[in-house]
A = this chain, B = another copy of it.
Amino acid sequence: MEKAFIPTEKKIAIINSLVRCGFRRMEVTSFISPKAIPQMRDAAEVVAGVDRSTGVSVAALVPNPRGAERAAAAGVNEMVTFVSASESHNRMNVNRSIAESLGGFREVIQIARGAGIPVTTGIAVAFGCPFEGDIPPERVANMIEQLLESGVHHFTLGDTTGMATPPIVTRTCEFLLQHFPAIELALHFHNTRGIGLVNVYAALQLGLTKFESSVGGLGGCPFAPGATGNVCTEDLVYLFHELGIDTGIDLEQLIIVARQVEEVIGRPLPGQVMKAGPRSRRHPLFEKPRA
């Protein structure tokens, strides 16, 4: 969503600061054509710059076989392919039918397998499509079925434009967990309509434990100017810690990194905990509040 090219050394510095906070998996770039998104032209250098001494798993988006080859050469630990749960969103996003996208994955998977790299597939608009509306869980299940046959074993359900709600999350995930009890399912919520963390909370109650987020809430929604994007990492980590869930992440350090990211981006980010600090923060009594 950022129009400007962020200097490679700044990207690497941010990623390595996040590694030091304790993250064990990070999607750091996209091996998309540098012509399509020049902001990502430094994908290989970014991957090369990641400090992997902590064992962090470095994931990157690969939109096509060419991207998979570049990602394999760069030494990613995980390739991420993506397809939409609705024909119209897939067409709008990559100008292909779903069948064409799934067909294209075969070559990507072959390249990944050759390099010994696991593949995760992100299923976009899995909880609702801005063009078609509700997505039946059966349709997501059918897609997962086809992907399992292709050799994909890790899935992320993307709430790409923030249409997930607790009942839809519950219905969709319960259906999938019932049909694929051994599946590895991560959830990727957006806060476009303010209820991203409520969806996380509802998913936690189903026993799901893998969530994607972005530092500071970086990102946005192409259909809603001014709306937020991904749920914010610090807010998510804060919620987890307050629920007694151990994440292994240093929240105070993470807040510092989020503020650095805000400086690099040059405008306020939607994250809240980065502004207010965790609830454990005490204010001295002599400090007069603003109003």
Taking CB atoms and an 8 Å cut-off, the chain A residues in 259-287 that contact chain B are 268, 271-273, 275-285, 287
Q: Are B285 and A88 in contact (CB under 8 A)?
A: yes
Q: Are A224 and B133 in contact (CB under 8 A)?
A: no
Q: Are A275 and B166 in contact (CB under 8 A)?
A: no
A161 and B272 CA atoms in complex are apart in Å by: 12
Q: Which of B167, B225, B228, B238 is A272 in contact with, Cβ under 8 Å?
A: B228
Q: Which chain B residues lie closer than 8 Å to A167 at the CB level?
A: 242-244
A78 and B280 CA atoms in complex are apart in Å by: 35
Q: Which of B92, B130, B227, B283 is A282 in contact with, Cβ under 8 Å?
A: B130
Q: Pick the interface stretch among A46-54, A55-63, A111-119, A189-197.
A: A189-197
Q: Are B235 and A194 in contact (CB under 8 A)?
A: yes
Q: Are B198 and A239 in contact (CB under 8 A)?
A: yes
Q: Are B243 and A194 in contact (CB under 8 A)?
A: no
Binary interface encoding of chain A residues 157-201 relative to chain B, with 1 for a CB under 8 A from any of its CBs, else 0: 000011101111000000000000000000000011111011011
A207 at the interface (CB under 8 A from B): no
Q: Are A285 and B92 in contact (CB under 8 A)?
A: yes
Q: Which of chain B's residues has its CB closest to A127's CB?
A: B279
A193 and B232 CA atoms in complex are apart in Å by: 11
Given contacts A272-B227, A290-B225, contact A193 B283 (CB under 8 A): no
- Total contacting residues, chain A, CB less than 8 A: 61
Q: Are A282 and B133 in contact (CB under 8 A)?
A: yes
A194 and B276 CA atoms in complex are apart in Å by: 10
Q: Which of B166, B168, B191, B243 is A201 in contact with, Cβ under 8 Å?
A: B166
Q: Which of chain B's residues has its CB closest to A133's CB?
A: B282
Given contacts A285-B131, A291-B1, contact A194 B272 (CB under 8 A): yes
Binary interface encoding of chain A residues 222-235 relative to chain B, with 1 for a CB under 8 A from any of its CBs, else 0: 11111110001001
Q: Which of chain B's residues has its CB closest to A241's CB?
A: B165
A67 at the interface (CB under 8 A from B): no
A64 and B194 CA atoms in complex are apart in Å by: 36
A201 and B169 CA atoms in complex are apart in Å by: 14
A271 and B192 CA atoms in complex are apart in Å by: 10
Q: What are 21 inter-chain pairs, A to B, with CB distance below 8 A? A: A1-B291, A92-B285, A128-B279, A130-B282, A192-B272, A192-B276, A193-B238, A193-B276, A194-B239, A195-B197, A195-B239, A198-B198, A201-B202, A220-B290, A222-B291, A223-B276, A223-B283, A223-B287, A225-B275, A226-B275, A227-B272
Which 6 A-B pairs have CB atoms at the shortest separation, nearest pair first? A222-B289, A194-B235, A194-B272, A224-B276, A165-B242, A227-B275
